[in-house]
Structure 1
């Protein structure tokens, strides 16, 4: 059975919070090497935060972002070379979530355990 709408919305909000953390951390990583890319990632983070807050709340979004950022930083293990790890984990789904929110919502509505 597919996820009910309330669960799908919650999962999408959680995904936006993770994307916000991913874009925020990535922005910091690329700040000195590619300021333009870093600013684009920062703007994506701001939008992802807004989307997550719309779907849930500011308090829950902030907690989820903090939790995701800790996980991302742990994955990096203080090595910029490990950026591939977080790119593989987050990039595709975050790009989809940000560029085609309906497709991501459809994904969650059709998801089965």
Structure 2
């Protein structure tokens, strides 16, 4: 039997056991996530990154006491794009989305 097949069956059994333990309440969600994350194929992993609204983005910028131009420069974006995000014309994606979520969690100094 090839090693990959054995690991695949072992991983499936581990995930199934962890799922059962979570279901009956003897394992918390964080522990379940840590145990199963490495055993779930990468193609099945879902990463959910919350998308801040235009109002959220404006609030983050104002909390940092920055103009749109300075905020844009800190994020390596254009002031026009920041304006579009704040007005809700566009939704952030890619690296901009990741940076905005980092600012939301840790403040503007997190990207300095």
- TM-score above 0.5, yes or no: no
Instruction: Normalising by structure 1, report the TM-score.
Output: 0.29
Q: Indicate the structure whose relative CO is greater, using CA pairs within 8 Å and at least 6 residues apart.
A: 1
Q: Greater CA radius of gyration, 1 or 2?
A: 2
TM-score, structure 2 as length reference: 0.29
